[in-house]
């Protein structure tokens, strides 16, 4: 039977298979076959002008045959390796004279053609070994029986094959621009901006083309097929960003690139086969793919500083779902700005501000020999972490909440490097003092419990009675009050818990009293105070400040109280 539309005929002729007729390029049948993907899934029958996907077991060759019935026929064959290099060879044999004529009669039976194939090797036209997308193109091919042999010696793998006798009119793969490189137009610590020239298939032929970017930290990819082999089926193409908005592929928990929720999603490219052979699961790689529509510029964000990334761009024809790779590139993000080291002066309090999850470095170099060195830290908000190294050796690593004091053994001409790490919840504010004089204490000592206790039974319409703990050190305590709304919440109170804000920030009208207090018996270091002159049924925020000998104050935890409405 002769070809109706074109002289290319593709079919699998496995060794030992039963004779079958060569299919023809009947357009109605061809379109039906293309729509029915299962028709080609496991038969290796390749229609003229359509790309098929198949697989190879390691060290198990696969062979395809197709017939070109007329001389001087254009021919193009494209083989796309996915996740492993391939060895492939294209060869041709002469058709029997009856089968290569002008089509006036029936072709020679397949059984006779098969016998001829078995007895003859044919003429090799092209061979290739590697993982590039490689082509065989001829504007004038002789009639004959063409044989395509493929082999993977590395591992089981996917691959794609496309063949056509009308390469000029088909053009299923998007065409690359004259300059197919990806340009890095902007480089930051966490961002990289990429730009590329549009495919002529989109700009000239007006075919629907979208661009897909692939980002990873290992290597560039030769094909989108290779990318998809690395991704599980759960990592489907992402939707294109809204116009005017760049989309970050790293806005996911698993990008930087570890995943917290990929259990059960990892799989090999093939779970099982009809031969009962199974492949092992492949580990997930740090790889992301995002399609950005028809944009020609895109900013990738949320990258890690001082890290090398590889970027690949693929033009995808959305009609055929076939793609062409641009020339990939790579870039290293900029380093984090080097932290300035703050010099601490002996006996002087230094204020430090740290961004959320940030860090600050301080240096203390005593000018004289010393036996001991004392570090006093006052964390104004949430807990911070302090690390102290002496000449590179780690001496201290602690979390600090409130006021803490650390005394370390000194060493002649020693230099101390202090690293302060902020809270994950928000910005951190703290005060730090370093001294070689043990009697130089600017911060007041605090009890372990800095809460203020209110006695409900002693509450009246115009007064409240409160108590708080002191220490064995004689300190000055000042108590302040402020009327607040009835809907004043614990969240508002928490936002005002900056322990470093002293009495000097308060209004004089809010001051209740100041007094000195201490007790040598720590069990009796408790003081009480009754605040009078309050309004019935009103809410008040009470603050107690303890002021040290150096004039620095520390605020206890605020207490919200309310007077009785009826007495």
Q: Does residue 392 lie within any of the structural domains?
A: yes
Residue 427 and residue 545 in one domain: no
Q: Confidence class of residue 215 from pLDDT cuts 50, 70 and 90?
A: very high
Query: Does residue 488 sit in the same domain as residue 401?
Result: no
Q: Please check whether residue 378 lies inside any domain of the structure.
A: yes
Instruction: Please indicate, yes or no, if residue 2 is contained in any of the structural domains.
Output: no
Q: Report yes or no on 19 lying in a domain.
A: no
| Mean pLDDT calculated for residue range 83-107 | 68
In the predicted structure, residue 231 carries a pLDDT above the cut 70: yes
Query: What's the rounded mean pLDDT across residues 493-505?
Result: 77
Q: Is the pLDDT of residue 9 over 80?
A: no
pLDDT band, residue 499 (cuts 50/70/90): confident
Model confidence at 40: pLDDT above 50: no
pLDDT tens string 293-336: 988 999 999 898 899 999 999 999 888 888 999 999 999 999 87
How many of the other CB atoms lie within 10 Å of CB of 469?
A: 18
Per-residue pLDDT at 326 = 94
Burial of 564 (0-12, 13-18, 19+ CB in 10 A): middle
Average pLDDT for 172-182: 89
Residues 552 and 496 in one domain: yes
- 323 & 367 share domain: no
CB 281 within 8 A of CB 294: no
Between CA 157 and CA 555 the distance in angstroms is 67
The DSSP H or E segment spanning 538 is: none
Number of separate domains in the chain: 4
What CATH number has the domain bearing residue 368?
2.60.120.680
Task: Quote the distance between the C-alpha of residue 286 and its chain's center.
Answer: 8
Rounded Cα gap, residues 552 and 3, in angstroms: 97
How confident is the model over 519-553, as pLDDT tens digits?
Answer: 888 888 899 999 999 999 999 999 999 988 777 88
DSSP state of 415: -
Mean pLDDT, residues 148-172: 84
- Residue 414's domain comprises 342-435
Confidence band for 486, pLDDT divided at 50, 70 and 90? confident
Same domain for 426 and 348: yes
Is the pLDDT at 273 greater than 80? The verdict is no
How many whole angstroms separate alpha carbon 540 and alpha carbon 510? 11
44: nearest Cα among 66, 25, 29, 26: 66
- Residue 387 domain flag: yes
Same-domain pairing of 165 and 183: no
| Residue range 60-77: mean pLDDT, rounded | 83
Which strands make up the sheet holding 8-11, listed edge to edge?
8-11, 62-68, 144-151, 86-93, 123-130
pLDDT at 81 over 80: yes
On whether both 358 and 406 belong to a single domain, the answer is yes
Size of the chain, expressed as the number of residues it contains: 567
- For residue 352, give the H/E element and its range: strand 350-354
- pLDDT at position 542, please? 93
Q: Give long-range contacts, CB 8 A cutoff, 24+ apart: 239-244.
A: 239/291, 240/210, 240/291, 240/292, 240/293, 241/292, 241/293, 241/295
Cis status, amide bond into 419, omega within 30 of 0: no
Strands (E), 107-208: 123-130, 134-141, 144-151, 157-164, 183-187, 192-195
Q: What is the pLDDT of residue 36?
A: 47
Q: What is the per-residue pLDDT for 490?
A: 66
Asked if residues 467 and 527 have their Cβ atoms less than 8 Å apart, the reply is: yes
Contact 366, 346 (CB under 8 A): yes
Q: CB burial class (10 A; 0-12, 13-18, 19+) of residue 104?
A: exposed
Q: Under a CB-based contact definition with an 8 Å cutoff, are residues 82 and 229 in contact?
A: yes
Same domain, 177 and 69: no
Residue 469 has pLDDT above 80, yes or no: yes
Which residues, in sequence order, are CB contacts of 82 under 8 Å at separation 6+?
157, 158, 159, 160, 223, 225, 226, 228, 229, 269
Indicate if 212 and 322 belong to the same structural domain: yes
**Mean pLDDT across the stretch 461-479?**
92
Same domain? For 361 and 481 the reply is no
Q: Which helix (H) or strand (E) holds 230?
A: helix 224-230
The CA–CA distances, whole Å, from 163 to 73, 82, 166, 172 equal 13, 17, 9, 11
Higher pLDDT, 224 or 39: 224
Greater model confidence, 270 or 49 = 49
Q: Can you give the CATH number for the domain in which 510 is found?
A: 2.60.40.10
Which pTM was predicted? 0.50
pLDDT digit string, tens, across residues 44-68: 566 777 788 888 898 888 887 777 7
Asked whether residue 18 is assigned to any structural domain, the reply reads: no
* 3-class DSSP assignment, residue 477: strand
Is 133 contained in some domain?
A: yes
394-to-336, 387, 418, 429 alpha-carbon distances in Å: 24, 7, 10, 24
Tell me, what CATH number does 145's domain have?
2.60.120.380
pLDDT value, residue 120: 60
- The model's confidence at residue 242, banded by pLDDT at 50, 70 and 90, is very low
| Percent of the chain topping pLDDT 90 | 24
Does a structural domain hold residue 265?
no
SS3 455: coil
Domain endpoint, select from 408, 435, 462 = 435
- Both 163 and 190 in one domain: the answer is no
Q: In the predicted model, what is the mean pLDDT of residues 88-111?
A: 61
- 363 and 421 together in one domain: yes
Report pLDDT for 12.
37
Instruction: Work out the average pLDDT over 95-101.
Output: 55
Position 274 scores a pLDDT of 33
Q: Of 254 and 388, which is predicted with more confidence? A: 388
User: What mean pLDDT comes out for the span 196-220?
Assistant: 88
Tokens 């039974």 — which residue?
457
Mean pLDDT of the chain: 77
């Amino acid at each position: 039977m002769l070809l109706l539309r074109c002289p290319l005929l593709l079919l699998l002729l496995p060794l030992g298979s039963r004779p079958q007729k060569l299919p023809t390029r009947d357009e109605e049948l061809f379109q039906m076959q293309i729509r029915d993907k299962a028709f080609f899934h496991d038969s290796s029958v390749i229609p003229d002008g359509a790309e098929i996907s198949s697989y190879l077991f390691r060290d198990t060759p696969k062979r395809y045959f197709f017939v070109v019935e007329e001389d001087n026929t254009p021919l193009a064959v494209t083989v796309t390796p996915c996740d492993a290099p391939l060895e492939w060879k294209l060869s041709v044999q002469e058709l029997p004279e009856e089968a290569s004529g002008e089509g006036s009669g029936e072709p020679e039976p397949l059984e006779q053609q098969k016998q001829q194939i078995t007895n003859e090797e044919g003429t090799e036209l092209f061979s290739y070994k590697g993982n590039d997308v490689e082509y065989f193109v001829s504007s004038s091919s002789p009639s004959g029986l063409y044989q395509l042999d493929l082999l993977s010696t590395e591992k089981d793998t996917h691959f794609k094959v496309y063949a056509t006798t009308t390469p000029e009119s088909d053009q299923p793969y998007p065409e690359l621009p004259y300059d197919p490189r990806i340009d890095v137009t902007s480089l930051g610590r966490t961002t990289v901006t990429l730009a590329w020239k549009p495919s002529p298939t989109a700009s000239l032929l007006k075919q629907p083309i979208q661009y897909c970017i692939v980002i990873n930290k290992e290597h560039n990819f030769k094909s989108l097929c290779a990318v998809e082999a690395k991704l599980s089926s759960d990592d489907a193409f992402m939707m294109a960003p809204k116009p005017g908005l760049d989309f970050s592929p790293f806005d996911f928990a698993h990008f930087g690139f570890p995943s917290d929720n990929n259990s059960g999603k990892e799989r090999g490219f093939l779970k099982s086969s009809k031969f009962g052979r199974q492949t092992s699961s492949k580990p997930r790689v740090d790889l992301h793919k995002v399609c950005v529509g028809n944009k020609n510029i895109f900013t990738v964000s949320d990258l890690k500083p001082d890290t090398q990334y590889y970027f690949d761009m693929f033009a995808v024809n959305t009609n055929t779902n076939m793609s062409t790779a641009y020339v990939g590139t790579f870039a290293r993000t900029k380093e984090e700005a080097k932290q300035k080291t703050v010099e601490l002066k002996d006996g002087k309090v230094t204020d430090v501000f740290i961004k959320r999850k940030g860090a600050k470095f301080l240096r203390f170099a005593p000018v004289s020999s010393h036996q001991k060195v004392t570090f006093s830290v006052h964390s104004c908000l949430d807990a911070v972490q302090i690390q102290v190294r002496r000449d590179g050796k780690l001496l201290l690593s602690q979390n600090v909440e409130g006021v803490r004091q650390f005394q370390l053994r000194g060493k002649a001409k020693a230099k101390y490097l202090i690293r302060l790490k902020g809270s994950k919840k928000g910005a951190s504010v703290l005060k730090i003092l370093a001294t070689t004089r043990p009697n130089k204490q600017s911060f007041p000592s605090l009890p372990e419990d800095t809460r203020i206790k209110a006695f409900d039974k002693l509450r009246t319409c115009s007064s409240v009675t409160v108590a708080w703990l002191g220490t064995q050190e004689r300190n000055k305590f000042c108590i302040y009050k402020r009327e607040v709304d009835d809907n004043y919440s614990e969240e508002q109170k928490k936002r005002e818990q900056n322990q470093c804000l002293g009495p000097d920030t308060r209004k004089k009208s809010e001051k209740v009293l100041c007094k000195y207090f201490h007790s040598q018996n720590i069990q009796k270091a408790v003081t009480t105070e009754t605040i009078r002159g309050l309004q019935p049924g009103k809410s008040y925020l009470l603050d107690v400040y303890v002021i040290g000998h150096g004039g620095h104050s520390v605020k206890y935890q605020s207490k919200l109280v309310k007077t009785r409405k009826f007495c």
